[in-house]
Amino acid sequence: MIQLSDHFNYKRLLRFTLPSIIMLVFTSIYGVVDGFFVSNFVGKTPFAAVNFIMPFLMILGCAGFMFGTGGGALIAITMGTGNGKKANELFSLVVYTSSACGIALALFGFLFLRPAASFMGADGQLLEDCVTYGRVILLAIPFYVLQYEFQCLFSTAGKPSFGLGITIAAGLTNIIFDTLFVAVFRWGLEGAAAATALSQFIGGFVPLCYFGRKNTSLLRLVKCRFDGNALVKVCTNGSSELMNNISMSVVSMLYNIQLMKYAGEDGVAAYGVLMYVSLVFQAIFLGYSVGTAPIISYHHGAGNHSELKGLLKKSLSLTGIFSILMLTAGQTLSGPLSVLFAGYDEGLLIITTRAFTIFSFSFLFSGTAIFGSSFFTALGNGIISALISFLRTFVFQCATVLTFPLFWKLDGIWLSTVAAEILAAIVTILFLLGKRKKYHY
């Protein structure tokens, strides 16, 4: 069994992070399956509606990433100091607090679902489809928050493989019920939403039961007192991941507005295909970052500077290799994946294929900023981590998507993501160089 205190060579690093990578990739894939069933069995407008309202729903659920990454770093650092009892209390505080937040976010979602969809420009049938899909998903938001959170915390608990098993179970739940509810029973958007909600329930509730009783992991739920200072540290340190997900969702809304202007519903549907596939590809970077974070935090807390230096060097090398492989895959699969989602509509297929060919160059640069942000979160520097995420997912994206279409119209929207990722990679490298003496890596 691999321990956080071990020395990590490339083989051991990949073995430890592989369950987290597969876990997040699998989570993304069953989201893709959801889109496939809606697009091919319900229709183009409902498919556009799912992608139109999804950013709003993801904003509500991404609080789980904040608690998971911020809490995971603090818990791992505490474990590195040898205080296991305190680590369990912090873990419990994070889980209890996030559960309460999930309920509050679900109530907020019900109040603002229709106004949010309308504000983004949805009307007529598109608006009604957004509300129909969103209302069902909102029932599972508390478990959606926990699912994201536990995906981060399983590695900290030393059980990444068990976390992978839970994610596979949740994914299979979604796929099976999508097939039944949408393809067989023909329940339309409500069926697709119900399948997703059930998968989120599995992903959040089963880990809650596991950690709520005696188990073989490094963590379990115990009685704890409210610790405002610890929660502030958790939220501050995890704010980069929260900012990253909120910014991505807000930017997705902006993209949808721009696409409605330049290409109508076909543009929104094409962007939905890109986002599905992008989530799968970037899940590799996210999974690796989530998997390495507790290792980095542990060795930082233990003062093992040589191990920290080695982890950074190996991680940047692996990220570079992943990036080249993803660009190659994106260029090779642009046609087949476009046909999979949009083969039934010639106009939509042309837009999607063209978009994919341009957009896939962003994979060459996105991994640097994703890992860099996670690296600083693991070191307890939430400010730099949040700044990298904010610049990457909000500032650079907004600036480019608003200006590039003025020169290159629809192609400018796809190019804007590539440009934003290049700028974010440059900023990340500058921060890594600037802070190397402080953290001794």
pLDDT digits (tens, 9 = 90+) for 187-235: 999 999 999 999 999 999 999 999 999 999 999 999 999 999 999 999 8
Residue 51, pLDDT > 90, answer: no
Separation CA 192–CA 178 (nearest Å): 6
Separation CA 234–CA 199 (nearest Å): 27
User: Which among 142, 133, 152, 439 is positioned nearest to 308, based on CA atoms?
Assistant: 439
Which residues neighbour 206 within 8 Å (Cβ) at sequence distance 6 or greater? 166, 169
What is the rounded average pLDDT of the residues 282-303?
90
| Averaged pLDDT score across all residues of the chain | 90
Work out the number of other CB atoms within 10 angstroms of the CB of residue 89. 20
What is the per-residue pLDDT for 30? 66
Residue 422, pLDDT > 80, answer: yes
Q: Are 60 and 105 in contact (CB under 8 A)?
A: yes
What is the per-residue pLDDT for 240? 66
Q: How confident is the model at residue 264 (pLDDT cuts 50, 70, 90)?
A: confident
Separation CA 337–CA 364 (nearest Å): 19
Specify the DSSP class assigned to residue 218. Answer: S
More confident residue, 23 or 60: 60
What is the per-residue pLDDT for 249? 81
Separation CA 421–CA 441 (nearest Å): 24
What is the per-residue pLDDT for 32? 76
- What distances in angstroms separate CA 322 from CA 103, 281, 309, 364, one per listed residue? 37, 9, 20, 8
Give how far the C-alpha of residue 338 lies from the chain's centroid of Cα atoms, to the nearest Å: 22
More confident residue, 269 or 197: 197
Residue 150, pLDDT > 70, answer: yes
Separation CA 434–CA 432 (nearest Å): 6
Q: Are 389 and 359 in contact (CB under 8 A)?
A: no
User: Which among 426, 270, 416, 289 is positioned nearest to 355, based on CA atoms?
Assistant: 270
Burial class (CB in 10 A: 0-12, 13-18, 19+), 184: exposed
